[in-house]
């Protein structure tokens, strides 16, 4: 199971947010409280100082405007006694300065040497010139404490400026009190934050635990496990969410089972189809292909997936994906190679949503190679039969018309015309008989009357018959084994096969040529070989000589009375006996026909 990082956990996030909100609230409250408290303490301190300065100013003014006798104290002494009476812990020093900026008195004993000197303090000068009270705060360099300096002009009732009061008060105590209060506030904040964190963890757990349960359930569902249920902790919104989640799990399980069942059915249908199926996405890229399609296209799944369907089907030069969407009729694709012919009949259907949005295309590939071959063979067969029948019929009609026109009365021409007509009639009868034989073989209506035959004797008899009846000067050479090979065959049918092969060998052998007969044993079969020294067959035609009506030299074949069906009938008969037949040839040097038959090696005693 995937673990959530510590700082990514909703539990930690909830507690942190909770603590940060409380901390932010307390900071705002503390800042506002400290600021207001500082302003209040500072204001109270300054108001207190100002009140005392006002009293001092009154006393000093009275002393400065008083008319003195000789018995009275001097102005400096009287001012010092006034200032000395107002000393306190808050006030460090009070000075009296006249309008000429001369220091008249100071309450600080250590600064008595300044009395009588001129004050150079800028704040004093500004206060006298401006006739207004001024103040400022600075740090005492010796004690490094903050002091508050205030000047208050000494005015007569008539508005005359007699001088100013200069006062230095220790305001550091106010800031020390603020620091103590801030420390107390910080400790209180820390304690409250600790309590808040504990409460936040407890509160967050009540929310995050059900969510964690649902997260684990969702991860299990993603892996296909629908058996777990989320625990319901209460009837609040989270409890209702947990109930809804459990209900959703049940629904998803039912839906997943239904989908999986349909998927298996679809997969079974696609895998067992003989037709190939390709499916694309809305961009025309292949997202699904079944095994028959891979075989028909001779490609691998990895090289096809996510490729454009037009590229997979070699349609890039003719069609675009948009063209395939609008194709209504099937098209034929040619995937033929040099070794094998492959024609695929392809139909396209569009996958659309209810809104009409095209989601993709499904292409169904049907192997139409065999059907096309059958159709072509049927057309060729009909054309060949028509041609083969038309030739003798045309000849017969010509001669019969000549006879009808009076040639029958000519004793020299009439017998010749009748002989030609009879020959063409026999040729048509042979053609029809051969066609009937092939038709029966195609419909499996031919019955083989098999019997056990010693093939050496059987083969030699057929060769002897041809050797005695041959008209041309052709030599027969036999290389047959002395062992007895017993085969179960239909003697009549196999005689037709061998007769046809030997007839062809004699037909195409030159004068003085040789026909060779061989027989050998090979893997439970006997293989018979009949070779001639005729003109041979071109290499490109060797595989076609067993096709119906196929002739290498059509003109010569017809002259010799052939129908073009002999080797086709021979092939069907050999196949019916469980063997195979084929040919080898070198053009200009002769042709060899091979065929095999299953046999039993025996001494032959029980067959005599």
The predicted model scores a pTM of 0.40
Per-residue pLDDT, 69: 65
d(CA 285, CA 56): 100
The pair of structure tokens assigned to 336 is: 């033929």
CATH code for the domain in which residue 588 is found: 3.30.565.10
Please say which residue of 397, 420, 442 terminates a domain. 442
Over residues 235-255, the pLDDT tens digits come to 777 777 778 878 888 887 788
Task: State percent of the chain over pLDDT 90.
Answer: 3
Higher pLDDT, 196 or 387: 196
Structural domain span for residue 313: 273-367
d(CA 219, CA 222): 5
Angle between helices 10-65 and 75-85 (to 10 degrees): 150
pLDDT at 553 over 60: no
In a domain, 201, yes or no: no
Higher pLDDT, 340 or 104: 104
Per-residue pLDDT, 529: 92
Give residue 380's pLDDT band: very low, low, confident or very high (50, 70, 90).
Answer: low
Verify that 312 and 429 share a domain, yes or no: no
Mean pLDDT score of the chain: 79
Q: Which residues contact 88 (CB under 8 A, 6 or more apart)?
A: 52
Please say which residue of 112, 142, 177 terminates a domain. 177
H helix runs in 405-454, sequence order: 413-442
Verify that 586 and 463 share a domain, yes or no: yes
Give residue 440's pLDDT band: very low, low, confident or very high (50, 70, 90).
Answer: low
Verify that 163 and 36 share a domain, yes or no: yes
In a domain, 332, yes or no: yes
Mean pLDDT of 224-228: 71
Across 221-225, 266-270, 347-351, the highest mean pLDDT is recorded for 347-351
Give residue 67's pLDDT band: very low, low, confident or very high (50, 70, 90).
Answer: low
In a domain, 282, yes or no: yes
CA dihedral 205, 210, 214, 215 (to 10 degrees): 0
In a domain, 234, yes or no: no
pLDDT at 190 over 90: no
Verify that 541 and 520 share a domain, yes or no: yes
In a domain, 135, yes or no: yes
Over residues 304-333, the pLDDT tens digits come to 899 988 888 888 888 888 888 888 888 888
Verify that 359 and 387 share a domain, yes or no: no
Please say which residue of 161, 177, 193 terminates a domain. 177
Verify that 482 and 517 share a domain, yes or no: yes
In a domain, 561, yes or no: yes
In a domain, 197, yes or no: no
Give residue 434's pLDDT band: very low, low, confident or very high (50, 70, 90).
Answer: low
Verify that 290 and 314 share a domain, yes or no: yes
d(CA 348, CA 329): 8
pLDDT at 137 over 80: yes
Higher pLDDT, 96 or 418: 96
Verify that 602 and 456 share a domain, yes or no: yes
Verify that 435 and 477 share a domain, yes or no: no
Verify that 548 and 569 share a domain, yes or no: yes
Regarding beta strands 514-522 and 475-479, do their DSSP bridges make them parallel or antiparallel, or are they unpaired?
parallel
How many domains are there within the chain? 4
Which residue in this structure is represented by tokens 């595989």?
A: 543
In a domain, 95, yes or no: yes
CATH code for the domain in which residue 277 is found: 3.30.450.20
CA distances 293 to 85, 276, 339, 362, 576, Å, are: 116, 4, 20, 12, 34
Hey, which bits of 443-598 come out as E strands? 451-454, 475-479, 485-489, 514-522, 525-531, 581-586, 590-598
d(CA 256, CA 382): 58
Give residue 2's pLDDT band: very low, low, confident or very high (50, 70, 90).
Answer: very low
């Amino acid at each position: 199971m995937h673990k959530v990082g510590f700082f990514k956990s909703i539990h930690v996030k909830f507690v942190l947010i909770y603590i940060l909100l409380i901390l932010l609230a307390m900071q705002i409250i503390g800042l506002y409280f400290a600021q207001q408290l500082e302003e209040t303490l500072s204001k109270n301190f300054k108001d207190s100082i100002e009140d005392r300065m006002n009293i001092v100013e009154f006393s000093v003014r009275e002393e400065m405007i008083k008319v003195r006798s000789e018995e009275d104290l001097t102005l400096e002494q009287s001012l010092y006694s006034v200032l000395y009476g107002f000393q306190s812990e808050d006030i460090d020093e009070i000075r009296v300065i006249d309008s000429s900026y001369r220091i008249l008195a100071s309450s600080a004993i250590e600064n008595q040497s300044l009395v009588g000197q001129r004050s150079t303090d800028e704040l004093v000068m500004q206060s006298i010139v401006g006739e207004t009270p001024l103040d400022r705060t600075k740090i005492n360099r010796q004690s490094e404490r903050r002091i508050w300096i205030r000047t208050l002009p000494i005015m007569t009732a008539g508005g005359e400026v007699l001088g100013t009061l200069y006062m230095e008060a220790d305001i550091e105590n106010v800031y020390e009190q603020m620091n103590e209060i801030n420390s107390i506030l910080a400790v209180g904040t820390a304690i409250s934050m600790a309590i808040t964190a504990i409460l936040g963890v407890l509160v967050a757990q009540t929310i995050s635990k059900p969510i964690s349960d649902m997260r684990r359930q969702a991860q299990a569902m993603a892996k296909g496990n629908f058996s777990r249920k989320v625990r319901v902790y209460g009837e609040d919104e989270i409890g209702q969410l947990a109930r809804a989640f459990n209900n959703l799990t049940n629904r998803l399980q039912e839906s997943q089972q239904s989908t999986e069942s349909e998927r298996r059915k679809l997969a079974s249908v696609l895998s067992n189809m003989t037709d190939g199926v390709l499916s694309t996405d809305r961009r025309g890229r292949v997202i699904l292909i079944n095994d028959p399609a891979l075989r028909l296209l001779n490609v691998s799944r990895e090289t096809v997936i996510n490729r454009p369907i037009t590229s997979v089907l070699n349609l890039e030069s003719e069609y675009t994906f948009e063209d395939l969407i609008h194709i209504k009729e099937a098209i034929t694709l040619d995937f033929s190679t040099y070794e094998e012919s492959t024609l695929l009949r392809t139909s396209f259907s569009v996958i659309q949503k209810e809104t009409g949005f095209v989601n993709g295309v499904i292409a169904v590939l049907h192997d139409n190679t065999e059907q096309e071959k059958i159709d072509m063979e049927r057309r060729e067969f009909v054309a060949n039969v028509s041609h083969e029948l038309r030739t003798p019929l045309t000849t017969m009609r010509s001669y019969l018309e000549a006879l009808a026109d009076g040639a029958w009365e000519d004793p020299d021409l009439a017998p010749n015309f009748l002989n030609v007509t009879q020959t063409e009639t026999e040729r048509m009868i042979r053609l029809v008989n051969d066609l009937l034989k092939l038709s029966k073989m195609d419909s499996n209506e031919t019955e083989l009357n098999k019997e056990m035959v010693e093939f050496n004797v059987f083969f030699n008899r057929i060769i002897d018959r041809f050797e005695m009846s041959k008209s041309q000067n052709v030599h027969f050479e036999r290389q047959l084994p002395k062992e007895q090979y017993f085969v179960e065959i239909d003697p009549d049918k196999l005689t037709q096969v061998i007769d046809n092969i030997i007839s062809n060998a004699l037909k195409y052998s030159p004068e003085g040529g040789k026909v060779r007969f061989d027989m050998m044993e090979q893997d439970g079969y006997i293989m018979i070989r009949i070779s001639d020294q005729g003109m041979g067959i071109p290499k490109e035609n060797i595989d076609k000589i067993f096709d119906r009506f196929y002739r290498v030299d059509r003109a010569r074949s017809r002259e010799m009375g052939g129908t073009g069906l002999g080797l086709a009938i021979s092939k069907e008969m050999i196949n019916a006996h469980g063997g195979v037949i084929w040919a080898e040839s070198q053009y200009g040097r002769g042709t060899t026909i091979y065929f095999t038959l299953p046999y039993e090696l025996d001494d032959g005693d029980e067959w005599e």
